[in-house]
Amino acid sequence: MIWNETKEQMSRDEMTALQSKRLVKLVDYVYHNVEFYRKKMQAIGLLPSDIKGIEDIVKLPFTTKDDLRDNYPFGLFATPQSQIVRVHASSGTTGKATVVGYTRRDLDVWSECVARCLTMAGVGKDDIIQIAYGYGLFTGGLGAHSGAEKIGAMVVPMSTGNSKKLTTMMVDFGATAIACTPSYLLHIAEVLEQEGMINDIKLKCAICGAEPWTEKMHKDIEERLHIKAYDIYGLSEVMGPGVACDCDFHKGLHVCEDHFYPEIIDSATMLPQKDGELGELVFTTLTKEGLPLIRYRTKDLTSIDRTPCECGRTSARISRFKGRVDDMLIIRGVNVFPSQVEAALVEVDEVSPHYMMVVDRVNNLDTLEVQVEINPQYFTDEIRGLESLNKKITHVLSQALGINPKVKIVEPQTLVRSQGKAVHVIDNRKLY
Amino acid sequence: MVAKQLSVFIENRQGRLGEVLSVLKENKVNILSLSLADTTEYGLLRLIVNDPALGKDKLAEDGFSTMLTDVLVINISHEAGSLQDLLSFLAENGINIEYMYGLSIDGQEAYVVLKASDLKKADEMLAKKGVKTLSSEQISAL
């Protein structure tokens, strides 16, 4: 099934024409409504009228996560606040969150995109789908939720955190689909196996995203649960889940490119890469009203394929992700930057600002250990003093990161010092 | 009298305790008693040594987190029940014990090393009662 045959099966020429028309309108819109873009364009002597079609996109300046931070919270919004009907937020590279705003029409476009993705995974109006992404500021829960409602499926808004309730309802309700992170789904499979409920489920498909996963995890999920698993991609800055999704043929993720124009660039030279060449994924939001972004650098490494897919869709496909350009980690679906840890530790007098993050996956759940050096002048020889210090650091870090790390106090002078590019992360998960 | 205890923070890593001991050996710091409190992640090594200040400096030079803590080294008779008597006495006087360990010399004299909630008060109470406690200088001379 294809949700929107007109848009998902357009010829390349028609798509290019549509994207051209939308880009011209977008550039004019941001020039007149977002001071940040107007100044950026003026600085390079670019006028909206210089953009005549999608091929002119290379003339436009890039946008980064830092730009969102510098204009926190609403500085890049293109509409008055009264037009914004919802905001979401994700982690910034330091203390401040990245805030994104949606108009009513933006929400409609979002649910349309998610509907396309869910349809790609075989979800229809007769399905019962459990949404087990976090609901709240994170885009995962509410984003997937609205798309599933649009399709007319019966939506069970599980959110995260209660695996026992989720598995019980999965069996009792006869849920046929689930949307969650792939690592969480593997954990669910484990719970079902332990409870002897694995043969009682009616699940047929899973739509997994919000973190990178390997081919092996994909195979694992499909074999253990006897279902089909699909990869959904998105990022809050661009929209949220539903920017792209893979179909039955798993030959890359179909991008909703009538709304999000994808480019691949070489992050060193900033020049466009040819189709098939690996580089950084860049998106321009062609139709967004609340927070339109021009050439937003995702820092995700992938390549693009614009040839038609066997599934009948003509939309551009991005390959399975090959890594990140920056040092962002995705831990239990939450974006974590080492710089956040550093900024949080500076606030704690008892420890030095040196740290090491050890990320692992134990029983399919991500774990984060943060090793910190105790500041010798605050050393105490009482266990409970050290334990309360440990609790304090854990609290500070969990407030800053949005996930609970395990804190390990280590001896002074034992962690690697910054010498040029210091290594602050050991990721044992091997996700790429 | 109050004595100085040398405390050292050690991670639970193989050979780490040995490294502390070798620093002490090189500098001829003699250990009279020790206690090792451990958690899953780290340990706290508490030592009564003949020269706590020297031990602290040398260990700090090698990057160890160390500190000197005031403790009481209390003489008790070498017979059953003497420790119980001491603890009852402290409890009656409202003194909480945080940790303690033993110290015995030549099998003749017995001591307990004790860290208490109100060390000064405990010291005074014991002095009044006529219980012998050792200072760091006296310990060095042992």
SS3 category, A130: strand
Interface residue B33 vs chain A (CB under 8 A): no
- The whole-angstrom distance between B53's CA and the closest CA on chain A is 16
CA dist list (Å): A152 to A113, A115, A119, A145, A148: 14, 10, 11, 11, 6
Task: Please determine, for residue A95, whether its predicted confidence score (pLDDT) is greater than 70.
Answer: no
Q: Residues 399-428, chain A: which have Cβ within 8 Å of B?
A: 408-414
Q: How far apart are CA B141 and CA A25, in angstroms?
A: 90
What would the mean pLDDT of B43-52 be, rounded to a whole number?
94
Statement to judge: residues A322 and A335 lie in one domain = no
Interface residue A310 vs chain B (CB under 8 A): no
At residue A216 the predicted structure's pLDDT band, cuts being 50, 70 and 90, is confident
> How many contacts, defined by CB atoms under 8 Å, are there between A and B?
43
A411/B41 touch (CB, cutoff 8 Å), yes or no: no
Facing B46 at nearest CB: one of A381, A408, A414: A381
Q: How many CB atoms lie within 10 A of CB B124?
A: 12
Task: Please determine, for residue A284, whether its predicted confidence score (pLDDT) is greater than 60.
Answer: yes
For residue B130, the model assigns a pLDDT of 92
Domain boundary among A326, A347, A375: A326
Statement to judge: residues A61 and A208 lie in one domain = yes
- Choose the weakest-confidence range: A80-89, A415-424, B20-29, B109-118: A415-424
Sort strands A205-209 and A228-235 into parallel, antiparallel or unpaired: parallel
B39/A383 touch (CB, cutoff 8 Å), yes or no: yes
* More confidently predicted of B140 and A259: A259
At residue A93 the predicted structure's pLDDT band, cuts being 50, 70 and 90, is low
Statement to judge: residues A53 and A119 lie in one domain = yes
* Range(s) of the domain holding residue A186: 5-326
B65/A410 touch (CB, cutoff 8 Å), yes or no: no
Facing A379 at nearest CB: one of B37, B41, B65: B65
Statement to judge: residues A136 and A260 lie in one domain = yes
The answer as to whether A150 is a domain residue is yes
Statement to judge: residues A275 and A357 lie in one domain = no
Interface residue B1 vs chain A (CB under 8 A): no
Statement to judge: residues A192 and A335 lie in one domain = no
Report the sign of the C-alpha dihedral through residues B76, B77, B83, B86, in that order: negative
What would the mean pLDDT of B41-46 be, rounded to a whole number?
90
Query: Please, is A45 exposed, middle or buried when counting C-beta atoms within 10 Å of its C-beta (0-12, 13-18, 19+)?
Result: exposed
Q: Residues 105-134, chain B: which have Cβ within 8 Å of A?
A: none
- The whole-angstrom distance between B7's CA and the closest CA on chain A is 6
Mean pLDDT of chain B: 91
What would the mean pLDDT of A198-217 be, rounded to a whole number?
93
Query: Beta partners for A284?
Result: A261
Interface residue B81 vs chain A (CB under 8 A): no
Statement to judge: residues A302 and A414 lie in one domain = no
Q: What is the pLDDT of residues A153-181, one digit of tens each?
A: 999 999 998 999 999 999 999 999 999 99
The answer as to whether A432 is a domain residue is no
Domain boundary among A305, A326, A347: A326
Q: Judge whether B2-70 and B71-140 match in fold.
A: no
Q: How far apart are CA A192 and CA A189, in angstroms?
A: 5
Q: Is the pTM of this model over 0.90?
A: no
For residue A135, the model assigns a pLDDT of 95
> What CATH number is attached to the domain comprising A379?
3.30.300.30
Interface residue B101 vs chain A (CB under 8 A): no
Give how far the C-alpha of residue A410 lies from the chain's centroid of Cα atoms, to the nearest Å: 33
- Contacts (Cβ under 8 Å, ≥6 apart) of A421: none
Give domain limits for chain B. Answer: 2-70, 71-140
Interface test with A, best of B6, B8, B9, B20 (most A CBs within 10 A): B9
Statement to judge: residues A82 and A217 lie in one domain = yes
Query: Please, is A4 exposed, middle or buried when counting C-beta atoms within 10 Å of its C-beta (0-12, 13-18, 19+)?
Result: middle
Q: How far apart are CA A173 and CA A349, in angstroms?
A: 51
B9: chain A residues, CB-CB within 8 Å: 374, 379, 381, 386, 411
What would the mean pLDDT of A81-101 be, rounded to a whole number?
88
Statement to judge: residues A298 and A378 lie in one domain = no
* More confidently predicted of A115 and A217: A115
Interface residue B63 vs chain A (CB under 8 A): yes
B65/A412 touch (CB, cutoff 8 Å), yes or no: yes
Q: Which helix (H) or strand (E) holds A352?
A: strand A351-362
Q: Which helix (H) or strand (E) holds A373?
A: strand A365-374
Token pair 């009616």 is found at A202
Facing A408 at nearest CB: one of B5, B41, B60: B41
Class of the CATH domain delimited by B71-140? alpha beta
Statement to judge: residues A354 and A288 lie in one domain = no
Give how far the C-alpha of residue B103 lies from the chain's centroid of Cα atoms, to the nearest Å: 8
Q: What is the CATH number of domain B2-70?
A: 3.30.2130.10
Query: Beta partners for B55?
Result: none
Q: What is the pLDDT of residues A127-136, one digit of tens each?
A: 999 999 999 9
Residues in chain B: 142
At residue A222 the predicted structure's pLDDT band, cuts being 50, 70 and 90, is very high
B5: chain A residues, CB-CB within 8 Å: 381
User: Within 13 Å, how many C-alpha atoms sit on residue B71's CB side?
Assistant: 33
Statement to judge: residues A342 and A309 lie in one domain = no
B65/A386 touch (CB, cutoff 8 Å), yes or no: no
B44/A379 touch (CB, cutoff 8 Å), yes or no: no
A374/B98 touch (CB, cutoff 8 Å), yes or no: no
Domain boundary among A275, A305, A326: A326
Let me know: does A352 contact A373? Beta carbons within 8 Å: yes
A388: chain B residues, CB-CB within 8 Å: none
SS3 category, A133: coil
Mean pLDDT of chain A: 93
Q: Which residue of A has its CA nearest to B6?
A: A381
Interface test with B, best of A350, A352, A381 (most B CBs within 10 A): A381
* More confidently predicted of A415 and A390: A390
The answer as to whether A242 is a domain residue is yes
Q: How many CB atoms lie within 10 A of CB A180?
A: 27
Statement to judge: residues A315 and A343 lie in one domain = no
At residue A94 the predicted structure's pLDDT band, cuts being 50, 70 and 90, is low
What would the mean pLDDT of B107-118 be, rounded to a whole number?
87
The tally of domains found in chain A comes to 2
B63/A411 touch (CB, cutoff 8 Å), yes or no: yes
Facing A411 at nearest CB: one of B7, B64, B67: B64
Q: What is the pLDDT of residues A40-88, one digit of tens each?
A: 999 999 999 999 999 999 999 999 999 999 999 999 999 999 999 999 9
Let me know: does A207 contact A232? Beta carbons within 8 Å: yes
